[in-house]
Amino acid sequence: MIEIENVHKSFGPLEVLKGIDLTVKKGEVVTIIGGSGSGKSTLLTCINGLETIASGRVVIDGTDVHAKGTDLNKLRQKVGIVFQQWNAFPHLTVLENVMLAPRKVLGLSKEKAEEIAVKQLTHVGLAEKLGVYPNRMSGGQQQRMAIARALAMSPTYMLFDEVTSALDPMLVGEVLDTLRMLASEGMTMICVTHEMKFAREVSDRVAFFHQGIMAEIAPPEQLFDAPQHTETKKFLAATH
């Protein structure tokens, strides 16, 4: 379970998170929507400790992420994250990209790491690309590789930060299909997204962020069809 309690976060004088409370249970899919600068992406990086927080708590399966002495490297094995920019490691083949962390972080043998990598890459539809270098692939393929790379660590939770925002419209579908598949398999996911149709389909709950505040959170039917908050209404009217 991911418990986010009254999290505040500032970049210099700019407060980007103004007291966020959110609990995500195992198996749940929560999507976060909202305008640019609303703090949605920042929240994800605070969840796995890539960013520090000013106050509040993030607790993952009982571990306080931002407490002193928390082994973040260990925690991150449990919480995978995929970014808008897929950050493929250009000097490694697709297979090596996915094998790297299982080998160096989990200390698995080459054979075992390869077995896991092949399995995950097959899962995201890249079985044909094992020996290829990332720069030979489309953005959509690289993004699916990044998803496989995170999954190879067998995370309990997956965070997706606008994973389709940097893609050609033609390539968005294949990545969303991969996320849909993960959701249907019961992966616990928090997705920041601008894809409203996708959010409506896969989410158990949808959260709307506005200026560092979670203005509204509700099941998708309710949030999309009967939004309560004025800002949610404005946002949905503008994006539809």
Which residues would be at the binding site for other proteins (CB under 8 A)? 48, 50, 73-74, 76-77, 80-81, 83, 85, 87, 89-92, 100-101, 104-105, 133-135, 146, 149-150, 153
Radius of gyration of the chain (CA): 18
User: Two tokens at 194?
Assistant: 């601008």
Question: How many whole angstroms separate alpha carbon 142 and alpha carbon 134?
Answer: 6
Of 47 and 214, which CB lies nearer to other proteins in the complex structure?
A: 47
Of 43 and 218, which CB lies nearer to other proteins in the complex structure?
A: 43
Phi, psi of 67 (to 5 degrees): -75, 150
Of 100 and 236, which CB lies nearer to other proteins in the complex structure?
A: 100
Q: How far is the CB of 230 from other proteins (least distance, A)?
A: 36
Angle subtended by helix axes 139-151 and 169-184, to nearest 10: 20
Of 97 and 232, which CB lies nearer to other proteins in the complex structure?
A: 97
Are 209 and 40 in contact by the 8 Å Cβ rule? The answer is yes
Q: How far, CA to CA in Å, does 150 sit from each of 59, 78, 107, 123, 155?
A: 21, 10, 16, 13, 7
DSSP state of 122: H
Q: How far is the CB of 90 from other proteins (least distance, A)?
A: 6
Are 209 and 182 in contact by the 8 Å Cβ rule? The answer is no
Of 36 and 73, which CB lies nearer to other proteins in the complex structure?
A: 73
Q: How far is the CB of 148 from other proteins (least distance, A)?
A: 12
Q: How far is the CB of 28 from other proteins (least distance, A)?
A: 21
Q: How far is the CB of 85 from other proteins (least distance, A)?
A: 6
